[in-house]
Structure 1
Amino acid sequence: MGNVVDLGHGVRAAVTERAGGVSTAPYDSLNMGLGSGDEREAVLANRRTAAAGLGFDADRVVWMNQVHSCDVLVADAPGGVGTCDAVVTTRPDLVLGSLAADCLPVLAADGEAGVLGAAHSGRLGTAGGVAVRLVEEMVRQGARLDRISVFLGPTICGSCYEVPAEMQAETARLAPEAASTTRQGTTGVDMLAAVTAQLRGAGIGRLEADGRCTLESPELFSHRRGAPTGRFASFVWRS
C-alpha cells in the first residue's frame, strides 16, 4: 500500500500500488479497476484488501464511472455515484475513490467543514479544468477555499507523455501550462504542471504532490507502459 498523507482534521489520502492483490497478468496484482478487463471477483477482492490495509471498510467507498469529463456529482451514499470525473461529499462515513493508470488523481479536503472531494484529471479533464470544478463544488457544499488542502497523486510526467503537436496545442489553448517537451524533444503534455497552476489560480494554497511518474514507476500501473493493464486507486477519507 502507498503512503498515507495527512490532509488535516483527521482526513487522510492514499494511493494504492500494484503489489498485494490476487489479479493475474497483465493486471497483476492489486488491480482496483472493474472496467479494465480483469475478473470482477478479483478486483472486488483487491478492493477489500486495499481498504482493510488502509483502515476502512470497502463498503464505505464511493466510485465514479469515469469518462474523461468535467462533471462533478455530490455523493450521499456509498457505491457507484454515477457518470462523472469528480465527486464531493459531506458525509463523514464515506470514502471517495479515483482510479487511474496515467491520469492525475486529485484528492481534496476541508477537514474543518467536513467536505471531501476526489477527481480524475486526464488530458481532457485537465484541459477543461475538472480540478477547479471540484473545488468550486466543495465550496458550494460548505468548504472554505483558504482551508482546502489538495493532494495530487502520481501521473505520467510531461517528459514522458508524448502527444501529437495538434493535441498539445488543443490542450494548451485551455491549459497553457500543459505544454511540455519530452525527453525525446517531441511535443508533450504535463498534467501535473497544468492542474497545479489551475488550483493555484483558483486560490488553493495547501497543495502537495506525490511526484512519481506512472510510466517510470514499475510499482504503479501505467497504460502507456503496457496496455491492457490494471488501475491504481487514490482515496480520501476521514479516519
Structure 2
Amino acid sequence: MRIRRVVTTRAGGESRPPFDSFNLGDHVGDDPAAVAANRKRMAAELGLREERFAWMEQVHGRRATVVDGTETGPAEATDALVTARPGVALVVLVADCVPLLLGDPEAGVVAAVHAGRVGARVGVVPSALEAMRAAGAEPHRVEALLGPAICGQCYEVPREMADDVEAHLPGSVCHTRKGTPGLDLRAGLWRQLADAGVGKIGVDPRCTAEDDTLFSHRRQRPTGRIAGVTWIEE
C-alpha cells in the first residue's frame, strides 16, 4: 500500500494577519470562514473529500484514538490518531510542537501524532505505536517522519524543565545558541522511535521559530497552525 505524507506551510490561504495566510487551526482566534476556506483548499489540493479528514482536539496528552472516517467532529481530548482505513486523512496541527507521521505500508496502518513537550514527556508516541500494533502494524515496518518544529538552538527552557523532560525522553536536553538550557524534542523522539524498533526515521530539519514560511507560537502569538497530514491511498 502507498502511504502519503504532507506538511503544509503558511502560504497561499485566506487568513489575514496575524494568521496569514494558510492557517488550518480553528481554535486560535482566526475568522472561521477563512479557516474553512483554507481547509477546503487543502482537501482540493490533496485530491481528497473534506469529510475524509480526521481532526483532533489536541490537549498535550498521551491518548491515541483509532478512527475510520465515520466520525463527526474532531476526536475529543486526544493527541494521536490511528487508522487502517484507506482514504482517511489524519491531521495534526502545530506551531512549534513536533508533527509526527507514522505508517506501516505492509499492514496499511497510519498515525498522526501531536508531540509537544508535555505530550512527548508523558508518552504519546508509545501510545500511538501501541494503537498501531493493535491495528496490525509492526514497529520494524513502520516509517516515521518528524516534521518541522522548534529546534534545540531556539527552544530555551528552565534547567529544571530540561532535566525533567530528559528523564522521561532521553536525548532531548541540549543547549541553545545562547548557551542556556534547551530542548531538542526531535532528537529525543528520534531516539525513542529507534529504541522502539521503528525501521525508518526521517527528519524535516526546518525550525518553525527560524523559518518565516511556517507558523511559530514562540516567534509570534497569536498565530496560525500548519498541518501534518498522512493517509493510505485508496
Shorter chain as denominator, the TM-score bin is over 0.9
Structure 2 match to 1:97: 91
Q: Could you tell me which amino acid in structure 2 is paired with residue 10 of structure 1?
A: R
| Aligned mate of 2:49, from 43, 52, 57 | 57
- The question of 1:183 aligning with 2:177 is answered yes
Give SS of 2:107's match: coil
Which amino acid letter does the alignment assign opposite residue 122 of structure 1?
G
2:29 paired residue among 16, 37, 41: 37
**2:27 match: secondary structure:** helix
Contact 2:170 2:191 in 1 (8 A): no
CA contact (8 A) 2:85 2:232 kept: no
Alignment of 1:19-168 (within 5 A): 19-76=11-68, 77-78=70-71, 79-168=73-162
1:212 aligns with 2:206: yes
Which structure is higher in strand share?
1
The residue type paired with residue 215 of structure 2 is F
Whichever residue aligns with residue 144 of structure 1, its letter is E
Deviations 1:98-136 (A, max 9, x none): 000000001111122111111000001111221222111
Q: Is the 8 A contact 1:159 1:188 kept in 2?
A: yes
Q: Is the 8 A contact 1:65 1:81 kept in 2?
A: yes
Q: Does 1:227 align with 2:221?
A: yes
2: distance between equivalents of 1:112 and 1:81?
Answer: 26
Which blocks of at least 5 consecutive residues in structure 1 are unaligned? Answer: 1-8
CA positional deviation for 1:90 = 1.3
- Letter aligned with residue 169 of structure 1: D
State how many pairs are aligned. 231
Shift of 1:55: 2.1
Displacement of 1:51 after TM fit? 1.9
Which stretch has the larger CA shift, 107-116 or 31-40? 107-116
Task: Name the SS of the counterpart of 2:59 in structure 1.
Answer: coil
Q: TM-score, normalised by structure 2?
A: 0.96
- Under a length normalisation based on structure 1, what TM-score does the superposition of the two structures give? 0.94
